[in-house]
C-alpha cells in the first residue's frame, strides 16, 4: 500500500507537467483554430508535420528511455555509466539525423509535399533531435525521483511556448507598423508555430546543466551499449509501431484522401482530436510514474497484485474522464472554432482508442519484466497492420472518420493479443469481469446520451449530468470501503 501511495504522489507531480501542462497548452488550440481558418488548410499542415515529428522522436530515442531504467536498476549497475552511454548514443544519432536532413532538405521536403516551405522541415528536424536528446535527460530525472524538477522543466517549456504564441497571434498583428516588428508577416503564421517550438525546446535544454555537468564521455562503455541495444531493438520496433498507431493516420491521410481539400479535412480532424487528448494527458502522467515503479518492484506476487489493482483503477478513472467529455461536449466544442466542429463526431471514438492504448501499456510489462520485448514488437506490428488496413479501405469512402475507427481497431487488437499471450508467460490476476463491466456501463450511458435528442441546451446538459452522476455513483459504491477509509482519515485530521 505504501508503494501505491508513492505511485499516486509521483503521478500527481508528473501530472503537473502532463495534465495541467497540456491543459494550459489547450490555449493554443483555440488560438490556432480561431486565427487559422479550416479552409486555408494551415492547421492541417501543422497536424501533418507534428505527426512526422512524433514518429521521428521514437526512432531517434530507439527505446533508450526504458532501456536506461532496466540497466540502471540492475544489481551492481553503475547508473552514471548507463546514463552516459545512453545519452552519447542518442545524442550521436540525433546529430547525424539533423545533418542528413539539412543535406537532403530539398528532396525530403518535396517528397512530403512541402517543396514551397522546406524551412518547416529543417526547423522541425532540429526540434525533434533536441527532444530526443532531452528524453534521456528527463529519464535521468525520473530515475532519481526528481519529479518536481521534471515538472518544472516541462511547464517552463509550455508557459514559454504559450506566451510566445499569444504574442505572435494576438499582439504582433496590432504592432506590425512599429519599426522593430517589420519581421512579422501574418501570412506566415504556420511557420511561426514551428519557429517558436524550436526556440522553446532549445532554451529548456539549459535547464539540464546539472545533469549535463555529470555527463562524462570517457565512461561511455561500448560493451554496455551492445547489451543495451540488444534489449532496446525490440522496444524500438514496438515504439515505432506504437506511435504509428497514433500518428500514421495523419501521415497517410494526404496520400489516401481523394479530394483537393485534404489539408482542410486533416485540420478539422486534428483540431477535434485535441479535445480527445485529455485521455493522452492522463495516460502519459500515469506512465511517467508507473514505469519506474514497476521496474523497481520486481516480479514478485505483490508486484503482480499491484499491477492488477492499478489496472482496475486506471480503467475506472479514464472512463470517468471519458464520461465527463462526452457529457459536456456542448461546452468542450468551444475550444475550437465552429468551422472545425464537423469533426467532433470522431472525439468519442478517439478517446476510447486512447483508453485502450493505456490498457495496452499496463499489459505491456509482462514482456518488459521478462526481457521478452520482441513480443511487444510483434503485437504492435499486428495492431498497426489493422490500423493501416482500415485507413486504406475506408479513408477514400468516409474520410477522417476512418482514422478514428482505425485507431480503435488497432489498439483493440493489441489489447487482446497482449492479454491472452501475456497470461501464458507472466500471469497477472487482472479483474477482467469488473473491467469489462465498467466499459459496458460507460458505453451504455454514452448511448443513452446520444440516442436521446433534446433540443434545449440546458435541459440536455442537465440530462447528461444525471448520466454522469450515475457513473460516478457506481464508482463510489463499488469502492465504498476505500472511500470510507479515506473519509475517516480526513475526519480524524480535522
At 184-206, the pLDDT tens digits run 888 888 899 999 999 999 999 99
Q: Residue 295 in contact with residue 70, Cβ under 8 Å?
A: yes
Q: What is the pLDDT of residues 134-177, one digit of tens each?
A: 999 988 888 887 878 888 888 888 889 999 999 999 998 888 77
State the pLDDT confidence band at 108, using cuts at 50, 70 and 90: very high
Q: Please provide residue 302's backbone torsions phi and psi, each rounded to the nearest 5 degrees.
A: -65, -40
> What are the residues whose beta carbons fall under 8 Å from the beta carbon of 67, sequence distance 6 or more?
86, 228, 231, 232, 235
* Straight-line distance from the first to the last Cα atom of the chain, in angstroms, rounded to the nearest whole number: 23
Query: What per-residue confidence (pLDDT) applies to 296?
Result: 55
Question: What is the per-residue DSSP string for 407-435?
Answer: HHHHHHHHHHHHHHHHHHHS-----HHHH
Q: Residue 265 in contact with residue 39, Cβ under 8 Å?
A: no
State the pLDDT confidence band at 416, using cuts at 50, 70 and 90: very high
Query: What per-residue confidence (pLDDT) applies to 237?
Result: 78
Residue 272, pLDDT above cutoff 90: no
Dihedral sign computed on CA atoms, order 389, 392, 393, 395: positive
Q: What is the pLDDT of residues 294-347, one digit of tens each?
A: 555 555 566 677 778 888 888 888 899 899 999 999 998 888 888 899 889 999
CA–CA distances in Å: residue 231 to residues 39, 234, 367, 464: 47, 7, 11, 48
CA-CA-CA-CA torsion for 285, 289, 291, 296, nearest 10 degrees? Answer: 180
**464: helix, coil or strand?**
helix
User: According to DSSP H, which parts of 21-78 are helical?
Assistant: 21-25, 28-35, 42-61, 64-72
Query: What per-residue confidence (pLDDT) applies to 300?
Result: 55
Angle among Cα 200, 201, 207 to the nearest 5 degrees reads 95
Angle among Cα 333, 346, 128 to the nearest 5 degrees reads 90
Residue 486, pLDDT above cutoff 60: no
CA-CA-CA-CA torsion for 437, 440, 443, 444, nearest 10 degrees? Answer: -110
Cell of 397: 469512402
> What are the residues whose beta carbons fall under 8 Å from the beta carbon of 29, sequence distance 6 or more?
271, 274, 335, 336
> Residues in the chain, how many?
494
Q: What is the pLDDT of residues 207-230, one digit of tens each?
A: 888 888 777 766 777 888 888 888
CA-CA-CA-CA torsion for 253, 258, 264, 268, nearest 10 degrees? Answer: -60
Cell of 271: 483540431
Question: What is the per-residue DSSP string for 167-202?
Answer: IIIIIHHHHTTSGGGTT--GGGHHHHHHHHHHHHHH
CB atoms within 10 A of CB 19: 20
Angle, in degrees to the nearest 10, between helices 118-143 and 189-205: 30
CA-CA-CA-CA torsion for 222, 224, 230, 234, nearest 10 degrees? Answer: -110
Residue 75, pLDDT above cutoff 80: no
Number of helices (H) and strands (E) in the chain: give both, helices first.
Answer: 24, 0
Q: Residue 460 in contact with residue 330, Cβ under 8 Å?
A: yes
Cell of 278: 485529455
CA-CA-CA-CA torsion for 287, 288, 290, 295, nearest 10 degrees? Answer: 120
State the pLDDT confidence band at 286, using cuts at 50, 70 and 90: low
CA–CA distances in Å: residue 19 to residues 153, 279, 362: 14, 9, 19
- In angstroms, rounded to a whole number, what is the distance separating the alpha carbons of residues 327 and 338? 19
Amino acid at each position: 500500500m505504501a508503494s501505491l501511495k508513492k505511485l499516486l504522489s509521483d503521478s500527481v507531480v508528473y501530472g503537473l507537467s502532463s495534465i495541467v501542462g497540456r491543459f494550459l497548452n489547450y490555449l493554443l488550440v483555440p488560438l490556432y483554430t480561431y486565427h487559422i481558418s479550416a479552409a486555408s488548410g494551415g492547421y492541417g499542415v501543422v497536424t501533418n508535420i507534428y505527426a512526422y515529428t512524433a514518429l521521428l522522436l521514437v526512432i531517434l530515442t530507439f527505446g533508450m528511455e526504458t532501456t536506461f531504467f532496466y540497466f540502471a536498476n540492475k544489481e551492481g549497475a553503475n547508473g552514471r555509466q548507463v546514463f552516459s552511454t545512453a545519452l552519447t548514443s542518442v545524442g550521436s544519432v540525433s546529430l547525424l539525423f539533423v545533418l542528413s536532413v539539412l543535406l537532403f532538405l530539398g528532396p525530403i521536403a518535396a517528397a512530403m509535399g512541402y517543396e514551397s516551405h522546406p524551412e518547416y522541415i529543417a526547423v522541425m528536424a532540429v526540434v525533434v533531435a533536441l527532444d530526443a536528446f532531452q528524453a534521456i535527460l528527463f529519464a535521468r530525472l525520473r530515475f532519481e525521483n526528481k519529479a518536481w524538477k521534471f515538472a518544472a522543466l516541462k511547464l517552463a517549456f509550455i508557459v514559454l511556448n504559450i506566451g510566445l504564441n499569444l504574442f505572435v497571434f494576438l499582439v504582433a498583428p496590432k504592432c506590425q507598423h512599429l519599426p522593430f516588428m517589420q519581421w512579422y508577416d501574418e501570412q506566415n503564421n504556420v511557420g511561426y508555430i514551428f519557429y517558436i517550438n524550436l526556440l522553446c525546446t532549445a532554451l529548456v535544454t539549459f535547464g539540464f546543466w546539472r545533469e549535463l555537468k555529470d555527463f562524462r564521455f570517457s565512461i561511455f562503455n561500448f560493451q554496455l551499449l551492445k547489451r543495451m541495444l540488444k534489449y532496446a531493438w525490440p522496444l524500438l520496433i514496438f515504439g515505432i509501431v506504437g506511435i504509428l498507431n497514433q500518428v500514421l493516420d495523419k501521415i497517410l491521410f494526404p496520400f489516401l484522401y481523394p479530394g483537393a481539400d485534404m489539408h482542410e479535412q486533416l485540420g478539422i480532424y486534428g483540431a477535434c482530436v485535441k479535445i480527445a487528448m485529455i485521455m493522452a494527458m492522463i495516460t502519459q502522467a500515469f506512465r511517467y510514474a508507473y514505469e519506474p515503479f514497476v521496474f523497481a518492484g520486481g516480479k514478485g506476487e505483490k508486484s503482480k497484485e499491484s499491477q492488477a489493482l492499478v489496472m482496475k483503477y486506471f480503467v475506472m478513472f479514464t472512463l470517468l474522464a471519458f464520461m465527463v467529455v462526452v457529457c459536456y461536449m456542448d461546452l468542450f466544442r468551444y475550444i475550437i472554432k465552429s468551422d472545425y466542429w464537423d469533426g467532433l463526431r470522431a472525439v468519442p471514438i478517439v478517446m476510447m482508442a486512447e483508453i485502450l492504448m493505456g490498457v495496452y501499456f499496463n499489459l505491456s510489462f509482462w514482456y518488459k519484466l521478462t526481457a521478452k520485448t520482441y513480443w511487444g514488437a510483434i503485437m504492435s506490428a499486428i495492431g498497426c497492420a489493422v490500423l493501416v488496413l482500415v485507413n486504406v479501405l475506408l479513408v477514400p469512402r468516409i474520410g477522417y472518420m476512418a482514422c478514428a475507427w482505425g485507431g480503435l481497431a488497432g489498439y483493440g487488437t493489441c489489447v487482446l493479443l497482449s492479454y491472452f499471450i501475456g497470461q501464458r508467460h507472466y500471469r497477472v490476476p487482472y479483474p477482467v469481469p469488473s473491467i469489462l463491466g465498467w466499459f459496458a456501463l460507460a458505453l451504455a450511458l454514452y448511448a443513452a446520451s446520444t440516442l436521446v435528442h433534446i433540443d434545449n441546451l440546458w435541459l440536455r446538459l442537465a440530462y447528461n449530468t444525471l448520466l454522469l452522476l450515475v457513473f460516478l455513483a457506481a464508482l463510489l459504491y463499488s469502492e465504498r470501503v476505500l472511500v470510507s477509509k479515506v473519509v475517516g482519515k480526513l475526519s480524524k485530521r480535522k
